[in-house]
Structure 1
Amino acid sequence: MRFVVEGRSQAEVARVYGVSKGWVSKLVARYRDEGEAAFEPRSRRPNTSPTAITAETAELIVRLRKHLSDQGLDASPDTIAWHLRLLRMVEEVDLAVGAIGAEAPVHLVQPGAHLFHQTGRRKPRRWAVDLDGDRRTHHRQRVRKLACRIPGRGASRRTTRPVSVDQRRSPMCTRWRRNPVVNGRPELSGRRHGREGRSRVRSLVAAAAIAAGLAPLMAVPAPAVAAAQVREFAYVANRGSDNVSVIDATNNTFVTNIALPGADQPLAVAITPDGTRAYVTNFGTNNVSVINTTNNTFVTNIALPGAVGPFGIAITPDGTRAYVANQGSSNNVSVINITNNTFVTNIALPGAVGPSGIAITPDGTRAYVTNEFNQVENQVSVINTTNNTFVTNIDLQNATDLFGIAITPDGTRVYTANSTSHNVSVINTANNTFVTNIALQNATTPEGVAITPDGTRAYVANFGSSNVSVINITNNSFVSNIGLQNAIQPFAIAINRDGTRAFTANSGSNNSSVINTTNNTFVTTLALPGAAGPLGIAIGEVPVVQKIRKRNVAKSSTSSKQEAGGIVKSRNENFGGVVATSNPGKIDKKLHDVDTLVQHILDHPAITKALNAAGTHG
């Protein structure tokens, strides 16, 4: 205004207001064309953004990232591009891959928002590229730098100065992927060969199935199933109700009860190292029940010929065999092949009476068995698990009615809970000799014992005094007792994988108590509805396939009222992925016939077009 009205020079006005002469010149030109409107705030954003992704694609990216992250699955740009490609959005995949950098938080991926901001620490002020507005900005606004090799400046030289859209889309840009990615690897340019071609066809088969309405939800890559979320669960064997209770050890809540058909008086439980199976001993029916922990269902019963009164059970660290201590008249140990759930053999224990508890060394070479009714010698039997033979009996001093047993993580010592002598015995595994007894103060009838993963403490469940004793393993001394509220007759105890909590099976009150082992305090007591006489407990990390919520996935054209369901895998060789369905049990009815389905998919126009483009090798 002053330049025009007062006749001042541009340099003088720029000096007075502290701006550049070029900016003053631009304002004057605007004022002459637009009048007072020239001074109104205006956006620097261009009228069009040809390289921007659509609002629908941005919304889908948000949903995909949130859904995959909630399931504990990979949500990297490559994975999301894989999903987008299934929805036949190939023309936008390249842009989406660059737009949703792995560091970009979900809340920033919104239609019209800057998709390239980082949440990292502050960086030096450098000029960079804003891909959303195609304008210069600096790292003080935390915009992702786009490093490009500029032709004519040397193959190894990079620049962070502003680049044009053409340069940005150039293959010289090191942070810009022009080729779609299949199965985590960039596709070959031109004709697709070998695995890349087959993977592409499989992806399009899945996309056609979705488009045709044959699969109600979005296809998921097979590797994503292997990365299923893992949670800790406690399994409690209930002698009186002939079932197994499940507790979510992560949030201390009761989950369900699992009925055991053909089983009577389940006493103890052990979980495989991979967390997929639980094995339960049944005292009354002389067999072992198998549970699928991924869906908490009964699988089968394994008969134990020549075994009477199976009680304690332990599984080898490699997950191939289970060893069962038979407390009845057989006085032996049964061996089970876990890979096919079959009985292998019985191992006689000379001089042993009433084998009850059993534990296996961390290297899987030996098993130690407590003999509860061997009142004279008070022995622990040793088994060589490499050839399933009896090794020796270890005599304990001043210890009676041995029951619970645990081995330190380093495998050097064994601890037994002695119910009528009210103490805990220690054994040296290097030479299989008795070391000492640890007296328990104000504790009666210790039955169960468990050791923390770091090997520093042992926790003992006291059946008679309804409390838990703590032992310092480094010096084999009694530490303290932990009182349990609303708990009667704790019989067994187990500790979770990180050693922060202990869970007890309370046979007299039909519940389970939780202890905080970091400060040795009582946390809570969990009711077990439908359970009677809980005696055994084990904790394992169980792989869980989360249900897919309808709001997080693409809707099916066949139905809009389907509930969340599981994930099932196709058995047909032409379909290499998996399909999420509202009800896995109805997948066969929905597809009718796999051959018909595949043929229908291959006849789809999208597949035909892809095959023609791929050529003979595709």
Structure 2
Amino acid sequence: MRKTASLLAASALWALAQISTAAQAFDPDIRNNTLAVSPDESLAIAGNSQTAELKVYDLAQGRLKAALPGFITPRNIVFAPDGRRFYVTDSSKGLLERWNAGTLTLEASLALGPGAFGSAIDRQGARLYVNNQASNTVSVVDLNAWRVSKVITSFSGPRQGVKLSPDGAELYVTNFRSDKLSVVDTSSLSVLREIGGFNKIRAISISSDGGTLYAANSGDDTLARVDTRSGKITATVAVGREPYGAALRPDGKVLYSGNLKSDSLTEVALPAFRPAAQIGGLSGPRQAISFSMDSRKAWVLNEDLSVAELDLATRRITRELKPSAN
């Protein structure tokens, strides 16, 4: 009995040690931020990997609505297409969390392993893809069954950048370590090919016809334009310092880079693919840029988790949502 008790005690201590280890920040030197706006444009939810809570903003009233605690290294937030739920990855907890957008309460958690990072959801809200930069994998999550249906391998440090083509047939995954894009067939869930030639690739966007992809190169301060059919970079354009964002406006007429070191956005006119303007007054913007569906507004996340609301016609900040109720 004493031996059994000792073994149980040792097992309990080991479990506590694992919990303590898991509670430590995973890769704290890898920093990112995330911003998601609900489909009805009533809520904006923001976070960064240095803050243990998410900020929820009421966009109609322009104020902080709530702060959601309990995170360690939140990496990405995406809303379900119907807006009823949103999903959060936390690389230190190794979890995908499902939250109720109406009550702002946690509904369920799914273990994906430490390193869970960027995520992309399909138009039906049935499948979620999650990058894992620690295990060099992408987890395919069946949201209805709430389980991992497959783990795709052969990536190289996949972080924030992951996007579905508009028709949902292909998934584009950025590999930060190898500076390549992996193209995944979503039917077979296998890697079809790779696209290279990037320089510290960050965020990506895809045109509505699926024929053109845009990527931010933070290594040489450019945005790249890629022909998705040929898999070749067809042009690059110089933007601000250390661009993380490559955000395509819903109307497809303008692309914006979020320039971390320039505290600005660069507006790139399309299809000409040339700089049209610089929008200043921001603080360390990265890839966390969201748009209204009518393409008139943009919401840009600052380093302090405040959100700047931009009038895109005048290129001016019309209001700033503060991360404090005071």
TM-score surpassing 0.5? yes
- Is the strand fraction higher in 1 or 2? 2
Q: Distance in 2 between matches of 1:230 and 1:479?
A: 30
Q: Which residue of structure 1 lines up, in the alignment, with residue 101 of structure 2?
A: 293
**Code of the aligned partner of 2:252:** G
Q: Distance in 2 between matches of 1:251 and 1:387?
A: 45
Greater relative CO, 1 or 2 (CA 8 Å, sep 6+): 1
**Code of the aligned partner of 1:332:** T
* TM score, norm. by length of structure 1: 0.44
Question: 1:414-452 CA deviation, whole Å, 9 max, x = no partner?
Answer: 111111211111111223322211111xx1111122211
3-state SS, counterpart of residue 323 of structure 1: strand
Q: Does 1:418 align with 2:223?
A: no
Q: Distance in 2 between matches of 1:318 and 1:523?
A: 34
Q: Distance in 2 between matches of 1:469 and 1:389?
A: 35
Structure 2: unaligned runs, 5 residues or longer: 1-38
Q: Distance in 2 between matches of 1:409 and 1:250?
A: 28
Q: Which residue of structure 1 lines up, in the alignment, with residue 6 of structure 2?
A: none
- 1:287 deviates by 1.4
Question: 1:351-399 CA deviation, whole Å, 9 max, x = no partner?
Answer: x33443101111111111112222xxx2111111122111111012xx3
Residue 299 to residue 435, structure 1, CA distance change in 2 (3 Å): same
Q: Does 1:496 align with 2:301?
A: no
Q: Does 1:310 align with 2:107?
A: no
Which of 164, 171, 174 is matched with 1:370 structurally?
Answer: 174
Q: Which residue of structure 1 lines up, in the alignment, with residue 203 of structure 2?
A: 404
Q: Which residue of structure 1 lines up, in the alignment, with residue 49 of structure 2?
A: 239
Q: Which residue of structure 2 lines up, in the alignment, with residue 457 of structure 1?
A: 254
Moved over 3 A (4+): 353-356
Residue 308 to residue 418, structure 1, CA distance change in 2 (3 Å): farther
Q: Distance in 1 between matches of 2:167 and 2:148?
A: 23
* TM score, norm. by length of structure 2: 0.82
Structure of greater Rg = 1
Which of 296, 299, 316 is matched with 1:521 structurally?
Answer: 316
Q: Distance in 1 between matches of 2:216 and 2:317?
A: 21
Q: Does 1:326 align with 2:132?
A: yes
Mapping of residues 207-606 of structure 1, within 5 Å:
230-260=40-70, 263-304=71-112, 307-328=113-134, 330-350=135-155, 352-374=156-178, 378-396=179-197, 399-440=198-239, 443-484=240-281, 487-491=282-286, 492-507=288-303, 509-529=304-324
- Is the helix fraction higher in 1 or 2? 1
- 1:254 deviates by 2.1
Structure 1: unaligned runs, 5 residues or longer: 1-228, 531-618
**Code of the aligned partner of 2:323:** L
Q: Which residue of structure 1 lines up, in the alignment, with residue 18 of structure 2?
A: none
**Code of the aligned partner of 1:366:** E
**Does the Cα contact within 8 Å between 1:410 and 1:455 map onto a contact in 2?**
no
Q: Distance in 2 between matches of 1:429 and 1:250?
A: 38
Q: Distance in 2 between matches of 1:240 and 1:361?
A: 30
**Code of the aligned partner of 1:497:** M
Q: Which residue of structure 2 lines up, in the alignment, with residue 218 of structure 1?
A: none
**Does the Cα contact within 8 Å between 2:40 and 2:83 map onto a contact in 1?**
no
**Code of the aligned partner of 2:320:** T
3-state SS, counterpart of residue 245 of structure 2: strand
3-state SS, counterpart of residue 490 of structure 1: coil
**Identity %, equivalent residues:** 26
Question: 1:484-511 CA deviation, whole Å, 9 max, x = no partner?
Answer: 2xx421122111222111112222x231
Q: Distance in 2 between matches of 1:525 and 1:373?
A: 35
Q: Distance in 2 between matches of 1:474 and 1:524?
A: 30
- 1:290 deviates by 1.2
Q: Which residue of structure 1 lines up, in the alignment, with residue 5 of structure 2?
A: none
**Does the Cα contact within 8 Å between 1:369 and 1:381 map onto a contact in 2?**
yes
